[in-house]
A = this chain, B = another copy of it.
Amino acid sequence: MGAIRRGEDFLFNQVYDFVVSRIESNEWKEHDKLPSVRQLSVELHVNRLTVLKAYQLLKKHKKVYVKDKVGYYVQPKDTFMLEYPDHPIVSAYVQKNSLSEIQQVQVEYNFSQALIDPNLLPNHYLSEYVKKVFDLYPKVLSTYSTVKGDEELREALADYFIKQYKTVIHADDLLILSGSQQGIHLVAQTFVKARDTVLIERPSYSPAIDTFKARGAQILSVDITPDGYDLNQVEQYMKLYKPRLFYMNPTFHNPTGYTVPTRQRKQLVQLAEQYQCLLVEDDSYHDIYFDHKKPPPPVYTYDFSGTVIYIRSFCKYISPGLRVATIICQSSSHMKTLLSVRALTDNGSPLLNQKIFLHYFSSPRLQQHLEKLRIALQVRKEIMEKELSRTNWNWSSPGGGLNLWVQLPDNLSTDSLLSKAITHSISFVPGQICDPIKKLPSSMRLSYSYANEKQLQQGLQKLIQIAQEND
């Protein structure tokens, strides 16, 4: 595959996007006839061949269909955007959120939510901290936080990171978020424009894929394996496609649970600096490690030039109801842009939530909670693995995180397994949803964090039985 020829690509993409935006906005409705190639080429002042090529790709992507040999018509919605081309670059303005569609289904055996069972969370302690917060800050509810976030919290977090990783950062390098999804969205809003290239791991966290696609980015996927990335592939992509950023999740990766080794972390920072590609490091499971084996330090700790934007979430395992996460961004110019975009997004996170979080985060009870939580989650993981060991399915046992990434035999489609599982009140995430290029038909993500021990055992047994009936 050669380098992109920008000029040709430019006009071609314009025409493609022009049509897609008309269809998505419903200006051109299902089964409407598109303008003829000649008409549109005149209207948009482009070559007929460019329009024809765009129409052909639109057809391939099932956005339009051909009737009477020459007419192009808008494809009805039910088949729209379901297929992606067999090509590492996919481009689309998609306002889609595949994962949330699955999670809207209520089931008894929930293996699709990478959330922690509320019974494992410190509900009682937190209510106490809330009362403390009101004694300390009687006007907390009538005060706006700054857009960047509460200074006291940013200082406490900066101290924590310095102690953990022995690298210096400042409270000013932190921006408080209402959850890590907001961080991904903010980064996409701030640094990615339509048609920019973005690197994403394959597989990856599906709402991140959807976020960058909705921004109109061209997605280029980088394989992740238990050994990390193929850095030659990464370098090649950075060189050829000049991506704006690489969205990565190198620690107990979602969905696979893989962890990128320390050596690669350092090399990645060097590559990213050399090719001026931002590294966006999403780190939501850092503290959920098993067997007392801490993961390697985050990629940002190897960065001294502001190349890494680090998104660290705590809320999953402390208090999902508070929704507190943070960005570390050591480039002051990037931070300035992030703040300006964040202000327009929601003016910053509520102060109350930040103050409650601060007081719990700074207390010794947090460490006690985490130790117990790690053990409880490891037990649940092992129950799931024990059930799976009765099958011929494959997975690589993760050192942390909330998920198993399971490979079924090639003849089994996890997409059709899900349809059947849901009728038995079982949900999981089919691999296709985690794949930027919508393949991986026989993989699935099973979360062991939300269901309790009994549900894990019973649900897995049922799921395996359903799969084997179809084998």
Contacts and interface: CB of A to CB of B under 8 A. Distances in A.
Residue picked from A46, A190, A322, A352, most chain B C-beta under 10 Å: A352
A283 B135 CA distance: 33
Nearest to A122: B142
Contacts of A50: 45
Contacts of A85: none
A340 B11 contact: no
Contacts of A400: none
Contacts of A185: 344-346
Contacts of A350: 178, 321-323, 350, 353
Contact of A14 (B14, B93, B139, B351): B14
A311 B124 CA distance: 35
Given A10-B14, A11-B45, A344 B97 contact: yes
A66 interface: no
A319 interface: yes
B123 A139 contact: yes
Interface string A15-33: 0001001000110000000
B42 A7 contact: yes
A54 to B, nearest CB: 13
Number of copies of chain A assembled together = 2
Nearest to A94: B340
Contacts of A8: 45
A43 interface: yes
Chain A: interface residue count, which band? 35 or more
A429 to B, nearest CB: 15
Contact of A139 (B45, B118, B131, B352): B118
Interface string A211-232: 1001000000000000000000
A267 interface: no
A228 B191 CA distance: 39
A152 to B, nearest CB: 15
A163 interface: no
A207 interface: yes
B100 A10 contact: no
